[in-house]
């Protein structure tokens, strides 16, 4: 599934349920899911794929709430140099 399709799927299936929640809830949820992903990856747990999917879902949902087109954001990412990308990661 491509990014645009995933974003549309999330909007259609979960948008109404997530819309009433405060935006800070979405940000907090992303941080929680990222922590669970980190724990799974660092401990070598077999469910890293599920944790990645959870992070992806929360990210897509948050993008929908903020009106961000993730496909366009991914295109912008692909146009950056590796040095810029690594630099934005704080290295």
Choose among 77, 43, 56: nearest CA to 14.
Answer: 56
Residue 90 has pLDDT above 90, yes or no: no
Contacts of 15 (CB under 8 A, 6+ apart): 64
SS (H, E, C) 1-67: CCHHHHHHHHHHHHHHHHCCCCHHHHHHHHHHHHHHHHHHHHCCCCCHHHHHHHHHHHHHHHHHHHC
The structure's pTM equals 0.89
Computed on alpha carbons and rounded to an integer, the radius of gyration of the chain in Å comes to: 15
pLDDT at 54: 97
45-68 mean pLDDT = 96
pLDDT at 91: 62
pLDDT tens for each residue of 22-48: 999 999 999 999 999 999 999 999 999
User: How does the average pLDDT of the chain come out, rounded?
Assistant: 95
């Amino acid at each position: 599934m491509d990014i645009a399709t995933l974003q549309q799927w999330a909007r259609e299936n979960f948008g109404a349920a997530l819309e009433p929640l405060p935006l800070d809830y979405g940000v907090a949820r992303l941080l929680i899911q990222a922590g669970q992903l980190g724990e799974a990856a660092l401990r070598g747990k077999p469910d890293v794929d599920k944790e990645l999917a959870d992070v992806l879902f929360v990210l897509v949902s948050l993008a929908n709430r903020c009106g961000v087109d993730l496909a366009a954001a991914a295109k912008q990412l692909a146009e950056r140099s590796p040095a810029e990308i690594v630099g934005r990661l704080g290295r």
